[in-house]
Structure 1
Amino acid sequence: MIIQKHNETLTTPTGDMQVTVYRPNASGAYPAILFYSEIFQQTTPIARSAQILAGHGFVVLVPEIFHEFNPQGTVLAYDDVGKDKGNADKFNKPLESYDSDNQAMIDYLNDQSFCTGKIGSMGVCIGGHLAYRAALNPSISGAFCLYATDLHSNTLPCDEGNQTLERCGDIECEMVMVFGKQDPHVSPEGRRLIHDTMTQNGVDFSWNEVNAQHAFMRDEGDRYDAALALQMYRNAVDFFHRCL
């Protein structure tokens, strides 16, 4: 499908948040995906991922996840300076602020004639965590989480008892979890903890461990695995067409 895009500025309790909206050109109403980036925000690989999803018949929203700490339009470089800044932002933003960001996007979508009101979430790296976090909201009908970081370690700031993984029993939608076996950011022990915690809490989820490194979806850099990335896009599209 041919797609279009535009930016929206949404009001949240922690300040204005710029969101890029990708959606089909053809008239009609489409289900939506909240698509969460890595710590670098909306880089060109993230934009291309959003375009791929939108081209399969979805409205895709890409928020600036660290809007509290950066001017609108900020994109961090894939270098040490960008990594240090992104990680600093990550450890300074409470998880509760993402919850209000998510609700602002859901409210926006519910007001748009081009959206059916069915909404899913998807993300990579910290975005995988945020897609998982979004699934705590009952408005989310399916979450596809790629190599989600900081779930097993409980290292992101939040109120006591509000860590994402320990609240997984509140999730009502179907989940897909994808991890690379060679990913140093989520150890085998960490993956087992996530799997076992979700199982013990009765979460409806599928589990995929592939022979890949962290950020294998990113089509820049030497960790990119094009064949696996294509497989994951197909899986995600099929999943969201079914759930949404």
Structure 2
Amino acid sequence: MTGVREVRGTSVNIPTQDGSADAYLAHPDDDSAHPAVLFYMDAFGLRPQLKEMADRLAGAGYTVLVPNVLYRHGPAPVVELPDVIGADRRPALFEQLTPIIRELTPDLAMRDAGAYLSWLAACPQATDGPVGITGYCMGAGLALRTAGTYPERVAAAAGFHGARLATDAHDSPHLLADRVTAELYFGHADQDASLPPEQIERLDKAFTAAGVRHHTEVYTGAHHGYTMADTTVHDAKATERHWAALLDLLNRTL
């Protein structure tokens, strides 16, 4: 896919087993259907920054759905956010967000994922067939879980500055590796305490042992959250590297 297309973005609501998830849908502004991408938010949630990222992806020729995965606690933004999220605001924000995020158990998240995928399958702006997924921070784990839970529906999944992807927990995302049939890409930040080198190694070993097509890279000097331009950890160079890797994956698999 070449060129940047005009994009149309709208707010939508997705029926789930537990209510209705508010979401943002972006797609090329034409009458054609385009390959679908499920975009999983970071902890700060559905906000202008994520809508801008979805628009950029849609401009490359995709129909992109960004659900508020924390919809059980109300429409986005679930907590009030500053225009720029700096180190001084993070502790207070995570004090609010952490208990909310913990309530989104893997079982609930994957029940929701089924609803998101079904909605995309019926979406007139999306082509038939498997979808791609991209996820950020907590969304990287959701991307991996979705690829392992719905392998027949996911052709590609990418995760960027993911957190706790390969822990000792009995429900760690990496334990789904043997169920994944999608091609995977992960762009890790080397300045990221939430995914230390031993977890990166464990993740790669799980993918290799399961025969999963995958490529992982560690972005030197990048911090957790490096793709998010509305935060003070944003890294413009690493962000562009992420776009190149993501579009390469999606263009090849979708």
After superposition, what is the alpha-carbon deviation per residue over 1:95-137, rounded to whole angstroms, capped at 9, x for unaligned? 1111121111111111122211231100110011111111121
For residue 14 of structure 2, the aligned residue among 10, 13, 16 is: 10
State the 1:164 CA deviation: 2.2
State the 1:162 CA deviation: 4.7
Distance 1:191 1:230, change over 3 A: same
User: 1:135 and 2:147 equivalent?
Assistant: yes
Take 2:136 and 2:142, find their aligned partners in 1: how far apart are those partners? 9
Alignment match, 2:231 = 221
Alignment match, 2:63 = 59
SS at match of 1:122: strand
For residue 107 of structure 2, the aligned residue among 79, 96, 116 is: 96
Alignment match, 1:243 = 253
5+ residue gaps, structure 1: 156-160
After TM superposition, list the pairs within 5 Å mapping 1:203-218 onto structure 2.
203-211=212-220, 212-218=222-228
Contact residue 14 and residue 97 of structure 1 kept, 8 A: no
Alignment match, 1:158 = none
Contact residue 161 and residue 226 of structure 2 kept, 8 A: no
User: 1:126 and 2:138 equivalent?
Assistant: yes
For residue 87 of structure 1, the aligned residue among 83, 98, 107 is: 98
One-letter amino acid matched to 2:37: I
After TM superposition, list the pairs within 5 Å mapping 1:97-116 onto structure 2.
97-116=108-127
Take 2:198 and 2:171, find their aligned partners in 1: how far apart are those partners? 22
5+ residue gaps, structure 2: none
Alignment match, 1:182 = 191
Q: What's the % identity of the aligned pairs?
A: 21
How many residues are matched?
A: 238
Alignment match, 2:54 = 50
Alignment match, 1:166 = 175
State the 1:152 CA deviation: 1.7
Distance 1:73 1:181, change over 3 A: closer
Take 1:11 and 1:222, find their aligned partners in 2: how far apart are those partners? 35
Take 1:169 and 1:103, find their aligned partners in 2: how far apart are those partners? 19
